[in-house]
């Protein structure tokens, strides 16, 4: 008799749950969101001459953690963030003062400082991807071949 009451109770619960109306998600709930940190549609290209290479900036002086370049452009000096891995690891970028660079990235204001968040950098005829399309630093730099032109999202 006890097992019958347990079965009846479970059946009653199952029936009560099945009568609750179910709603499909609306299109607003399924919309993809743009990454709040890095918006690829806002990317710009800058070019200039490297004046300072900061592999490890002094603690508290950098707006974004990681390596930075100070680049002299026609519009003035730009602080370019290269991320944590660009100048470290197995095959780091080799950059020095006086080199010409072109970078693709987004200008951001971080801790009241203007910082160019570089995603792709071209130096000495080679192109390197140092961040993903969402602005996340890549652990392994995607080394490019000598560049011969421009194609979607590259320099």
Q: What is the CATH number of the domain that holds 71?
A: 2.40.50.140
Instruction: Give the tokens for residue 16.
Output: 């009560």
Query: Taking a C-beta distance cutoff of 8 angstroms, is the pair 137, 86 a contact?
Result: yes
Whether residue 27 lies inside any domain: the answer is no
Instruction: Give the tokens for residue 88.
Output: 């470290």
Place of tokens 């999202």: 153
pLDDT, averaged per 10 consecutive residues of the chain (155 residues), comes to: 61 57 52 68 96 82 81 96 86 91 94 92 93 85 51 54
Alpha-carbon distance 90 to 92, whole Å? 6
Cα diameter, the chain = 90
Structure confidence at residue 99 (pLDDT): 97
Whether residue 154 lies inside any domain: the answer is no
CA atoms within 13 A on the CB side of 145: 3
Which H or E element spans position 2?
helix 2-18
Name which of 59, 49, 58, 125 is nearest 80 in CA terms: 49
How many folded domains does the chain comprise? 1
Structure confidence at residue 60 (pLDDT): 65
Structural domain harbouring 113: 40-146
Structure confidence at residue 61 (pLDDT): 63
């Amino acid at each position: 008799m006890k097992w019958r009451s347990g079965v009846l109770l479970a059946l009653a619960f199952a029936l009560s749950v099945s009568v609750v109306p179910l709603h499909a998600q609306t299109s607003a709930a399924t919309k993809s969101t743009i990454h709040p940190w890095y918006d690829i549609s806002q990317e710009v290209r800058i070019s200039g001459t490297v004046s300072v290479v900061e592999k490890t900036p002094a603690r508290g002086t950098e707006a974004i953690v990681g390596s930075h370049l100070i680049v002299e452009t026609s519009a003035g000096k730009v602080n370019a963030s290269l991320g944590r891995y660009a100048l470290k690891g197995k095959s780091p970028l080799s950059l020095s003062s006086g080199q010409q660079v072109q970078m693709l990235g987004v200008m951001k204001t971080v801790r009241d400082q203007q910082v160019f968040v570089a995603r792709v950098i071209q130096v000495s005829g080679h192109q390197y991807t140092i961040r993903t399309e969402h602005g996340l630093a890549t652990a392994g730099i995607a080394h490019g071949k000598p560049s011969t032109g421009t194609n979607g999202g590259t320099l």
